[in-house]
Amino acid sequence: MASLKENLQLEEPLLEGSAVHRGDRVVDIKGAPTPITKHRTGSWKACKFILVTECFEELAYYGIQFNLVTFLKTILQESNVSAARNYTNWQGTCYIAPLVGAIVADSYLGRYLTTLAFFAVYLIGMAAMSVSASFPAACTGLDCPQDVGSSPSSQSAVFFLGLYMMAIGAGGIKPCVSSFGADQFDDSVPAERLKKNSFFNWFFFSIYIGSFVSGTVVVWVQDHCGWVVGLWIPTLFIALAIASFLLGSGSYRVQKPLGSPLARVSQVVVAAVRKRNVGLPRDASLLHELSEVESMAESDGAKKLQHTPVLSFLDKAAVVSSAEELYSDPWRLCTVTQVEELKIVIGMLPIWATGIVYFSVLAQFSSTFLEQGRRMDTAVGTFAIPPASLASFDAVSVILFVPIYDRVLIPAARRFTGNERGFSELQRFGVGLFLSVLVMVAAAAVEARRLALDRAAAAPMCILWQVPQYLLVGASVVFACVGQSEFFYNEAPESMRSLCSALGLLTVSLGSYLSSLVVTVVSGVTTRGGGPGWIPDDLNEGHLDRFFWLIAALSALNLAVFVWCAKRYKCKNVS
């Protein structure tokens, strides 16, 4: 490890001026290029504000998520079906909105201004929800203003307006904040490159600090002190998040947007189709690419990508078939870098798809795991443990494991592999997928034992037997979720880093939908003939263990597919 640090220290002075290769695209908040402001911007001096911002934002987000169904049922008087549907629709919006935020960031405003814009929407939405809680139906005890008069319909309208504004705001900033934090480190400087790898660990640490505090303290306040106080507290957290983000403005490195990533991708497809009958040159250097001077002028010094011999049909978009094309519109002639950007995105899709199955496993965390816990003995001594409270073990696992991973496991892996990263992004993601298989194996084993005890009329199984599966969930998050975030940031083309981060977040939503589809199919197939099926209302009459074994098998198959895809994946090659 010492030799690695010495090498980095020797390299860093040689690379001190290497940020110039990025031209004027990376600037400080006042527009000065980073080669001039390098020593007072970026790195941890900027990221400490971003990590605090993320922690406050997650405090607010989970402060709504954890108790949203309770509010819908008890205050807005919705049925179980209606509350579940509204919760699912809201969460779906939270994970589709990142696509909007990413396109705005990559195409127009950049990540700094996009984050501020969506934070403003977020804050207005939170304030609207908090105001709706002041209506009489939501008030309890001393927190209820006596002079407020309104109808239930107006309360619902204000609340849902705020809820979806909050969803758009939260979703819009999700792909921007993590990418903006990673932007603070210069990959060309080895010491900063190592710090960036560590940043993603602590970013998720901040997320789960917020999750843990909201799941314990904020939820308790909402249950015992009323919804006026309970909703204004998350609103305060968003205000603090914005204040923290603005406070760090002077230390940020800001990357200028390179134009619409969707337009760049579409141009390659259109140009390749137009030239489908044109032959490819044997020498790839004859394909169109900007010179260094042209690159500095047109794309502010963005890194160029080297040609790769895959998906060769797309290379036709960079074939110069006439001299006039060099001065024509980009829908007829694209650069090699543009073509390679599309190849990178296509190459990432198989890895991206394996994330959907992974998040279908994590979806059990807030659904079937809770149902399993409700059928177990919740008494531990004189205390009764609510099944939902075991979710805190997931957050605790992440909070404890991130420092161990960052300070112990990675240095050990560096000594063993000789790789400065310890593990590659794909290796890390793969370990997380393996742990997700163990999650379902543990859940299936516990459920099989629980059913055996019930059918033998023995004492019910203690709910603490669920703790291992929750701890494994947290460990898998540290590997898979962090590895996935690193992968989509590091491998994404510079022009579409926010968009690729948003695609990564989309797997969370798609994983939930896949889980719902599997449950529906399993329920339909196993109830044929009038039987109770695997997942009946009374789990003692079913076989939830078989469902868990099915998900474990799907996860194992997903892991095998991932390994096959990862072995064939070619990392991007920057010139």
Count other C-beta atoms under 10 Å from residue 523's C-beta: 15
CB 46 within 8 A of CB 252: yes
- Count up the domains in the chain and report the number: 3
Please report whether residue 7 resides in a domain. no
User: Do 433 and 491 belong to one domain?
Assistant: yes
Q: Are residues 218 and 322 in the same domain?
A: no
Query: Is residue 106 included in any domain, yes or no?
Result: yes
Residue 15 in any domain: the answer is no
**Do 294 and 374 sit in the same domain of this protein?**
no
- The two tokens of residue 104 are 């705005």
CA atoms of 150 and 144, how far apart (whole Å): 13
Please report, for residues 515, 516, 527, 534, 547, the alpha-carbon distance to residue 521 in angstroms, rounded to integers and kept in the order given. 10, 9, 10, 11, 11
Q: Are residues 438 and 556 in the same domain?
A: yes
Query: pLDDT tens per residue, the chain (575 residues)?
Result: 444 444 444 444 433 444 444 445 777 777 777 665 667 777 888 899 999 999 999 999 988 888 787 788 788 877 765 776 787 788 888 888 898 998 998 888 889 999 999 999 999 999 999 998 887 654 544 445 444 444 567 888 889 999 999 999 999 999 889 889 888 888 777 778 888 888 988 999 999 999 888 888 888 888 788 888 889 999 999 999 999 999 998 889 888 887 788 888 888 999 889 888 888 888 888 888 877 656 554 555 567 888 888 888 888 888 888 777 777 678 888 888 888 889 999 999 999 999 999 998 888 877 788 788 888 888 877 777 777 777 778 888 899 989 998 888 888 888 887 777 778 889 999 999 999 999 999 999 999 998 888 888 888 888 889 889 989 998 999 999 988 988 998 888 888 888 888 888 889 888 888 888 888 888 888 888 777 888 887 778 888 889 899 999 999 999 999 999 999 988 877 76
pLDDT of residue 302: 63
The verdict on residue 11 lying in a domain is no
Domain identity same for 407 and 375: yes
- pLDDT in the model for residue 233: 92
Q: Are residues 96 and 195 in the same domain?
A: yes
| CA separation for the pair 575, 446 (Å, rounded) | 53
Any domain includes 243: yes
Q: Is residue 8 part of a domain?
A: no
Would you give the distance in Å from CA 257 to the centre of its chain? 21
Other beta carbons less than 10 A from residue 558's beta carbon: 21
* pTM to 2 decimal places: 0.82
Q: Of 293, 321, 341, which residue sits at a domain end?
A: 341
Does 178 share its domain with 55? yes
Alpha-carbon distance of 137 to 150, in angstroms, equals 9
Instruction: Note whether 506 and 389 are same-domain residues.
Output: yes
Q: Are residues 373 and 520 in the same domain?
A: yes
**Which residues contact residue 290 at a Cβ distance below 8 angstroms, ignoring those fewer than 6 apart?**
298, 299, 304, 335, 337
> Which tokens sit at 184?
């603070």
Q: Which domain holds residue 317?
A: 261-341
In a shared domain, residues 346 and 334: no
Q: Determine, yes or no, domain membership for 14.
A: no
Please count the CA atoms within 13 angstroms of the CA of 392 that sit on its side-chain side: 14
* Residues 270, 346 within the same domain: no
- Asked whether residue 220 is assigned to any structural domain, the reply reads yes
> Do both 231 and 85 map to the same domain?
yes
Q: Select from 256, 273, 295 the last residue of a domain.
A: 256
What CATH number is attached to the domain comprising 63?
Answer: 1.20.1250.20
Final residue in a domain of this structure, among 288, 312, 341: 341
